[in-house]
Structures are given as C-alpha cells and as structure tokens.
Structure 1
Amino acid sequence: MRFLHTSDWHLGRQFHNISLLEDQRHVLEQLIDIVDDRQVDALLVSGDVYDRSVPPAGAVSLLDDVIHRINTELGVPMLFIAGNHDSAERLGFGARALARSGIHIMGQPGHPPASVALSDDAGEVVFFGLPYADPVTVRHHLGVDVHSHEQAMSALLAQAKEQIAGRRSVVLAHCFVDGGVESESERPLSVGGADRVPPTLFEPFEYAALGHLHAPQSRQWPHVRYSGSLLKYSFSEEKQHKSATLVDMDAQGKCEIEKISLHPLRDMRILEGHFDELLAQGGSDPGKEDYLLIRLLDTHAIHEPMHRLRDVYPNVLHLERPGLLCSGERRETSRERLAVGELPLFEDFYRQMTGEELQPQGQKLVAGILDRLHAGEVD
C-alpha cells in the first residue's frame, strides 16, 4: 500500500495581508503530479485543510479543483480530517455522499471512530480518522470523563484499537506530540503545555499520520510522523524544507518512508545587512520576488527605507531596524537610550533629505528644540 501523507494546507491563508492562494495552487500542482507519477493509492490530509473556520470562496474553489483532479480524474481516494483551524461541521458537509466516490472527510469524533478500509494484494489496511478534538468535545461526543488532551486522545485511540481486528492500521490525528518542534504560525491548542500528548499512544499502529506542527519531523519512532505544512507560513520557518511524505507499507505493516521536496513559487526568507549593500545586491538576487523580512544593521536614519527596498524587492513584508536600538550585544529600548541619539538621528535624516550636512547653526537650533521638548516646554 502506497499513500501520501500531507497536512496543514491552510487554504485561504493570508500573510501580512497578502493572499497566498496563488502560492498554494503552485505547490498543490506539484502534489497532484506526485500522486500521478508515483502511482499513489491514497492521499491523506491530516487536518487544517483551511486556514479558518469560514474559508474564503477562492480557497473552497481551489480545494474543489484539487479534489476533482486527484479523485475524479486520477481515481485516487482522499482522506481528510478536521484540524483546529477547520470548522468540523462545514468541512464535513456532504461527507456521507462523498464517501461513495472515494472522498472521505472525517470532521467530528465518532463512536466508533470513522475509518476507511483500503485493500492491496496483501489484504486490508484500515485508516482511522481522529479529527482535532479538545477534552470538552470528546466528553460531549463519546460520553467519557476526560479532562486533558492526553486523556482525550487516549480515549479516541482506545476505540480505534478495538477496531483493528488483526488488520494493518494507519491513524490520522491532529495534535501536539510531546517533544515536537513548533513554529510561530501554529495556533496554540491550549496554554501552559497542557495540549501535549505522548508519542507512546501511537505505538500500536503501523503508521501515525500527524498534523498540526508545520516542520516535517518524527518523534521517538519513524512511523509517528508530522509531514509538515505545504508552505512556510511564518519567518520562523525560514530554514525548514517543506515536503510531502510518501509511505510504502508492506504485507507485514513495515513502512518505508520517503520525503518528497516541494518547491514554493516564492520562498520566505530573512535578509540582514546594510541598506546600500542590500539595494546593490537586489538586482542580481534570483529570489528577489520572495517574501522577505529585512533587518537593517544601519545605525543612522534612512529616508523611506521600505519604499526604496520594495523597488528592488517587491515582496518585502516586514522591516526591522535593530541597529537603531543596539549597544554592543545588548538591545536597549529605554527613553534615555533614544534621547542620547536624537540629534545624530536628525542629522542623518537631514543628510538623507538634502544631501548636505547640518551646519553648526542648525545643530544648535535643533538641540535647543530637543532640550525644550524634554523639559516639557513644547507641546
């Protein structure tokens, strides 16, 4: 049995008020090619299909197109579970009818848990779908007394284990496994670390296809894996290499795992340097269309730095000026630190605006105004 494990599509996401739908379509085209070229038997999406509970129309249209091409044109079954960003009810609309076509959407925890059995030459592989469910949701749907995420996941998995019946098994779950590496773009499931669940819970299954954490990773056992998100969704993910996880399961349930790289339309990078140097190198930068956070090391004022940088790097999304507030290795943000540098900062600004140095008479005038401001004599 060969299946492709993905998660955290976050369709419809915006980043710094920029829609990423075009970027998502680009990487989903690669996913469709992988399903076709590698003759995949099933595609798994382990939660956070959409970025929010009421997705924009463009995101729904994109998902519809992807489902049509993978399921209808290629004839490949697709399995979805709801993540913490999804609305379980909206995602699961029409699920019973869609299941007859090989589109299996598992939005709410059930008793028994939702499952899909697919067959290969060695027999059946049963896929259990455990959508994101906090303790309150599990208590409501299962009628069990649980008060933590670990207890809730244990209750859901216990039901799944009862249904294995000697078959090879795969579980799809959307959760935070203890020890996992998180990113800034993930919405916390709870506060204070109470959302963690131990990886030992997934030991009985041949493969655990996890979603929620955006970095591709495994915890404790190779078969308990996060495929990671399809794209970088924060600058904290700059060093991550996004991929989909191809799994080949043999007749005994042993899994061979291959990460297949995904290549973004625009990368997400952090550039650090001095203003003039960054402007000079921008013309020859092959990634100048990337989404950028730029950290300027200059300690003087610069006229309209964002506007001028965007002439070279059109997708600069955030600008930091640590050089204005740093002293040695210690960053100071106090009013006193700013006050010490006010006159030099104004001189830099004057130089940027006029191309000339501020003369002594002007320095004396500005210094007097600053003194009166600090004394509270000027509104």
Structure 2
Amino acid sequence: MKFIHTSDWHIGRQFHNVSLLEDQRHVLDQLLAYMTEEAVDALVIAGDIYDRSIPPAAAVELLDDLLTRICMEMQIPVILIPGNHDSAQRLRFGSRQLGQSGLHILGDLNKVKEPVVIRHADGDVAFYGMPYNDPETVRNLFDEPVSTYDEAHSFLVQQILSCTSSEMSNVLASHCFIDGAEESESERPLSIGGSDRVSYQPCVPFDYVALGHLHSPQYKGKEHIRYSGSLLKYSFSEQHQNKGVTLVDLNRNGLQSVTHLPLSPLRNMRVLEGELTTLLEQGKTDPHNEDYLLVRLTDRHAILDPMSKLRAVYPNVLQLEKPGMLATGEQQMSRDKLKRNELDMFCDFFVQVSGQELTADQLAAIQQTIAEIHQQEQNS
C-alpha cells in the first residue's frame, strides 16, 4: 500500500504582504499529479492546512476544490489533522458526514484511539491522528497530571499504542516539535522557552510516523519518524531546502520504502548579494527574475531609491538589506533582535524601564500570560 505524507500547506499565507495563493495552487496541482502517477491509496496531511484559524475565503475555496477532486473524482481517501495554525473546532466541522465521502478529519483528542483503517490486498493500515495539543488541554480533558508538552505527547501516544493491532500496519500522524529537529524562521513557536519539544522515543513502535510543524524535510531519531516539510519556502532561511512530499510504501511486513517527491515552485525564494550595478545587469538576463528575493547590497556608498531600481529587473524583491552601510556588529545585532520572541523582548523592555532583571516569580507570571494569549489566539 502506498500513501503520500504531506503537511504545513499554510493555505492563505502572505509573505511580506504578498499573497502566496497562486504559488500554493501551483504546487498542489503537482501533488495531484503525483497521486495519480504513483497510484496512491491515501493522502495524509499532518496539520497546518490553513495559515490561520480564520482563513480567508479564497483559501477555503482552494482547499474545498482540492479535496473535492481528491475524494470525489480520484476516489482517494484523505486523513488530516489540525495543526497549531488551524482551528481544530472549525476544521473538523461536519467531519462525521465527510468521513463517509473519504475525508477523515481527525481533530478530536477524545477520539485519538479511533483509527481510520484502509483495507488493502498488501495488508490493512490503521491511521491514527493526534492533532496539535498543549499540556493544559490534555490535563483537563483526560484528568492526567501532565505539565509539559513532552508528557502530554507521550501520554497520548501511549493511549494509542494500547489499542493498536499487530494484524495490520499502524501509522501515526502528529503535529509537534520533536526535540533536536531542524527548525526554520517561518514556523510559529508552539510555546516559549523551548518547552514545546517532545521526545521521538514513544513513537518508535509505529510502522510510520507522519509529522507536521517543522518546514524542513527530515527524520529524527529513527528513519520512519519523519517530517515531510512544507509545500513551499515560507522564509528566506529556507532558500536551500528541497521542498516536496513523502511517498510511503507499506506491506504486511511493515515499512518498505520512503521516497521524497520534489515540488517545483512557481516562484522560488532566493537571497541575492552584491553591488547594485552588478545585480541590475544580472537581472536583465536572469531567467528566474520573478522569484521572491531578499537582496543584500554590498555597496558602501549612499544609493537613491535602490528598491525601485531593483524592481525594474526583479519585480518581486520583497526585502532589502544594506549591510555595507552599517558596521558588521550593528547589522548582526539588528538581525538578532528580529529573531527574538515575545518573552525576550519583554525582558529587554523591563530592564530598560526598571533598570533591573525580572525576578523568578515575575518571569513565571509573564510566561504564563504569554502562553494564555497564544491559547486564546489558537481558539479564536
């Protein structure tokens, strides 16, 4: 049996105020072509289908069209889970009725032990879904004394393993941050201070683990515990990543092969560096001049309106840096500040205003407040 593992579509995302919907439609059409070419038996989407909990209408229309083509026209079942960008309650609306049409939305933590079973001559496969969750939700829902993401994730995995069958292959779809995996700048932190990391070890008994959240294709701990990565590059830090989807082949003996299927973007995301005159000349013959670009100018003299000049040959320059005009230390400091999270910025602000560091109790209170705000945004 073959299925495709994908995640982190982020349909409706904007990058530097530019809609990526056309770019997303382009690679999703390639996904459909792979599904036909490989004659897959199922599609697994491991979370972050939308980019925000209340997606724009155009994003909903694109997803509706895509799922109709897959489930109704191609007759291929889809198993998906909500990610931290999705609203689980909204995404799973009508899930009981949609399941009869082949669209299985596994967004209810109360039902993590209820798999979607796909029958196949090479051996049946049970797909279990663990939507994005946090310790507070698991603690309240199951009355379990879990206090960390790792404890909550391990508890849910053990709940699922307690009901798996050795008579069929078992696949887990989970949206989480496996400790030690490679992250990118475009991912929204699940929590602050690194407490969102979970161990891969509880997942080892499954025949395959389809992970979502991290945007770089990779495996962690064991080769069958994998992130498919996002469909597109969503930050310039991802310029060298090879985006795609993962083809998984299972039979009665378990996992047979895992294959990365590359996706070609409509517009790539690149970083160009050099003097303005050199880049302007290069842009005249660059066959990929419509790519999304971050340009770093190395000129050390003042330039009048460099963005307009660059966009005459590279129309999609989205970000401009001029490190040659600043001392190296100042430039690095500016970049580092942009990467700081809410807690770091508040700590800096507090020191500047009060002249002293936060106490341990104050730090804990701020961490709790930020976590509650993130939770409210997730549920809104």
TM-score where L is the length of structure 2: 0.85
Q: Give the Cα–Cα distance (whole angstroms) in 1 for the partners of residues 10 and 329 of structure 2.
A: 38
Structure with higher RCO (Cα < 8 A, 6+ apart): 2
Deviations 1:186-207 (A, max 9, x none): 0001112111111111111000
Equivalent residue of 1:145, what SS? coil
Partner amino acid, structure 2, of 1:266: R
Tell me if 1:273 matches 2:274.
Answer: yes
Equivalent residue of 2:150, what SS? helix
1:212 corresponds to = 213
1:106 corresponds to = 106
Deviations 1:124-170 (A, max 9, x none): 21000000000111122222221101111111111111121213100
Deviations 1:161-181 (A, max 9, x none): 112121310000000001100
Q: Give the Cα–Cα distance (whole angstroms) in 2 for the partners of residues 192 and 204 of structure 1.
A: 29
How many angstroms does 1:330 deviate by? 4.6
Q: Give the Cα–Cα distance (whole angstroms) in 1 for the partners of residues 155 and 111 of structure 2.
A: 11
Tell me if 1:38 matches 2:7.
Answer: no
Aligned residues: 332
Partner amino acid, structure 2, of 1:208: V
Look at both structures and tell me which one has the larger radius of gyration over its CA atoms.
Answer: 1
1:48 corresponds to = 48
Distance change >3 Å, CA 145–CA 122, structure 1 → 2:
same
Q: How does 1:119-138 map to 2 (within 5 A)?
A: 119-138=119-138
Q: How does 1:276-315 map to 2 (within 5 A)?
A: 276-315=277-316
1:195 corresponds to = 196
Partner amino acid, structure 1, of 2:208: Y
Equivalent residue of 2:153, what SS? helix
Q: Give the Cα–Cα distance (whole angstroms) in 2 for the partners of residues 146 and 128 of structure 1.
A: 21
Deviations 1:237-279 (A, max 9, x none): 0110101000001211123010000000000000000000000
Unaligned runs of 5+ in 2: 334-380
Q: Give the Cα–Cα distance (whole angstroms) in 2 for the partners of residues 78 and 121 of structure 1.
A: 19
Unaligned runs of 5+ in 1: 335-379
Q: Give the Cα–Cα distance (whole angstroms) in 1 for the partners of residues 232 and 329 of structure 2.
A: 34
Deviations 1:7-63 (A, max 9, x none): 000000000000000000000000000111110000000000000000000000000
Distance change >3 Å, CA 241–CA 72, structure 1 → 2:
same
How many angstroms does 1:111 deviate by? 4.4
2:92 corresponds to = 92
Partner amino acid, structure 2, of 1:36: T
1:175 corresponds to = 176
Is contact 1:206-1:255 (8 Å) kept? no
Between 1:259-268 and 1:116-125, the stretch displaced more is 116-125
How many angstroms does 1:221 deviate by? 1.0
Tell me if 1:158 matches 2:158.
Answer: yes
1:351 corresponds to = none
1:18 corresponds to = 18
Partner amino acid, structure 2, of 1:101: S
Q: How does 1:253-272 map to 2 (within 5 A)?
A: 253-272=254-273
Q: Give the Cα–Cα distance (whole angstroms) in 2 for the partners of residues 204 and 330 of structure 1.
A: 48
1:367 corresponds to = none
Q: Give the Cα–Cα distance (whole angstroms) in 2 for the partners of residues 240 and 111 of structure 1.
A: 35
Q: Give the Cα–Cα distance (whole angstroms) in 1 for the partners of residues 103 and 30 of structure 2.
A: 20
Q: Give the Cα–Cα distance (whole angstroms) in 1 for the partners of residues 274 and 99 of structure 2.
A: 54
Partner amino acid, structure 2, of 1:201: P
Q: How does 1:56-75 map to 2 (within 5 A)?
A: 56-75=56-75
Q: Give the Cα–Cα distance (whole angstroms) in 2 for the partners of residues 47 and 187 of structure 1.
A: 13
Deviations 1:313-342 (A, max 9, x none): 00000000000013xx654799xxxxxxxx
2:239 corresponds to = 238
Distance change >3 Å, CA 143–CA 237, structure 1 → 2:
same
Q: Give the Cα–Cα distance (whole angstroms) in 2 for the partners of residues 20 and 100 of structure 1.
A: 32
1:27 corresponds to = 27
Equivalent residue of 1:110, what SS? helix
Equivalent residue of 2:222, what SS? coil
Tell me if 1:317 matches 2:328.
Answer: no
Structure 1's consecutive aligned runs of 4 or more residues displaced over 2 angstroms after TM superposition are 111-114, 140-143, 329-334
Q: Give the Cα–Cα distance (whole angstroms) in 2 for the partners of residues 119 and 133 of structure 1.
A: 29
1:149 corresponds to = 149
Distance change >3 Å, CA 50–CA 312, structure 1 → 2:
same
Distance change >3 Å, CA 274–CA 46, structure 1 → 2:
same
Q: Give the Cα–Cα distance (whole angstroms) in 2 for the partners of residues 36 and 140 of structure 1.
A: 43
Is contact 2:184-2:214 (8 Å) kept? yes
Distance change >3 Å, CA 130–CA 332, structure 1 → 2:
closer
Q: Give the Cα–Cα distance (whole angstroms) in 1 for the partners of residues 176 and 11 of structure 2.
A: 19
Aligned Cα root-mean-square deviation (Å)? 1.3
How many angstroms does 1:112 deviate by? 4.8
Is contact 1:78-1:104 (8 Å) kept? yes
Deviations 1:290-335 (A, max 9, x none): 0000000000011110011101100000000000013xx654799x
Is contact 2:123-2:251 (8 Å) kept? no
